[in-house]
Amino acid sequence: VPVGNKVSDVLSRILDLVETREHEVHRVLVVEDSATAIAHIRRSLSQHGIDSRAIGDPRTLLQAAADYRPDAILMDMYMPFCTGVEVTSALRQIPEYQSLPVIYLSSETDIAQQVEALRLGGDQFLTKPINPIILASVVRTKIERYREMLYSGRHDSLTGLLNHSTSKGQLESLLRTSSPARHLVVAMIDIDRFKSINDNYGHPVGDQVIRSLAWLLRGRLRNSDLIGRYGGEEFIIALPDADLERACSLLDRIREDFSQLPHAHARGALRASFSCGVAALPDYTTAASLIEAADQALLEAKRSGRNRLVR
Ligand code: GH3
Ligand code: MG
Ligand code: MG
Ligand code: MG
Ligand code: MG
């Protein structure tokens, strides 16, 4: 641990690492009324490094899903109180669970029943007895596809940063979890005279300038900071627990460094710059008002000459 680093910085880095590792864990919620089947399924999964939890009463599914946050559900067909098909259809009504993989594991061999289960929200139908290797492999594949789908729905493909709606959503959840006394700095960044970069050097060069800025921001900010591509050549940043003075000097150094960065084009290299508007808690307390205030500051930065930061 480098001397001089604040304990909170070190801790937040460690938390980032833990979160990354946690992301690699595959979590399966087993919905099954037979205790022997549960034991068998969970043993098969754990032998292949898949974490699981089981519920015997399908009526507790929503609570269990909220607590455990599974990456997939292994669903029995016939249980007391209701069928797997009934709980799956109910689950699919909830936006959060619309594409969570639901894999049936049942002794039902009737094709019509199986097709009906798939039609009403199941992703796959496996019949008991199942080979543990096949089970683990189907579960893993479904979870990986699901994660890829979630990832591409939340990220921007040009830069890999959070996309517009996800950045907004994450800013809102940052605000929900921050105490009124906490710091939170929001910055809006917009590349200067970007249209003329496109016009003079072509769209692919413009794209490369956008990617370079994303790369610079990612390198200079912490993993716990929010960085999103808010629009074409516009970025949003939220720095939780950041002191306004220090956040502004950090962003201003990034601005300065970006303005000196050479961007290659067919005839040589060009320089670009960005303007930045900053707003913070406690002056503004909602995501919408923080963004609006940072946008106003950004406009002021543009009006007063560009390549500068205004708060
Ligand atoms: P200002 O300094 O006032 O911000 O001027 P500007 O030219 O940057 O502003 P304007 O908003 O008029 O132009 C932004 C341009 O960004 C227009 C649009 O064609 C371009 N653009 C948007 N998304 C992309 C993209 O993904 N790639 C590229 N190459 N250009 C993009
Ligand atoms: Mg059963
Ligand atoms: Mg713009
Ligand atoms: Mg611009
Ligand atoms: Mg503009």
pLDDT tens digit string along 53-73?
999 999 999 999 999 999 999
pLDDT at 23: 61
pLDDT at 235: 98
Contacts of 296 (CB under 8 A, 6+ apart): 277
The number of angstroms, rounded, from the C-alpha of 215 to the middle of its chain's C-alpha atoms is 18
Q: Tokens 């864990």 sit at which residue?
A: 25
pLDDT at 6: 59
- Tell me phi and psi for residue 212, to 5 degrees: -65, -40
- Tell me phi and psi for residue 158, to 5 degrees: -70, -45
Q: How many CA atoms lie within 13 A of 235 on its CB side?
A: 28
pLDDT at 35: 97
Neighbouring-strand partners of residue 127: 106
Neighbouring-strand partners of residue 207: none
Q: Decide whether any atom of ligand 1 lies within 6 Å of the 147 Cβ.
A: no
Ligand 3 centroid–CA 183 distance in Å is 27
Pairing of strands 184-191, 234-240: antiparallel
Q: Decide whether any atom of ligand 1 lies within 6 Å of the 53 Cβ.
A: no
Q: What percent of the chain has pLDDT over 90?
A: 88
Q: Decide whether any atom of ligand 1 lies within 6 Å of the 192 Cβ.
A: yes
- Residue pair 229/158 in contact (Cβ under 8 Å)? The answer is yes
Q: Identify which of 157, 198, 295, 303 to mutate to test ligand 1's pocket (most ligand atoms within 8 A of the CB).
A: 198
pLDDT at 216: 98
Residues of the chain with pLDDT below 50 are: 1-4, 18-20
pLDDT at 182: 78
pLDDT at 55: 98
pLDDT at 177: 82
The number of angstroms, rounded, from the C-alpha of 45 to the middle of its chain's C-alpha atoms is 26
Q: What is the CA radius of gyration of the chain?
A: 25
Q: Which residues are catalytic?
A: 233
- Alpha-carbon distance 143 to 134, whole Å? 14
- Alpha-carbon distance 14 to 9, whole Å? 9
Is ipTM over 0.85?
yes
Ligand 5 centroid–CA 253 distance in Å is 22
Exposed/middle/buried for residue 306 (C-beta within 10 Å: 0-12, 13-18, 19+): middle
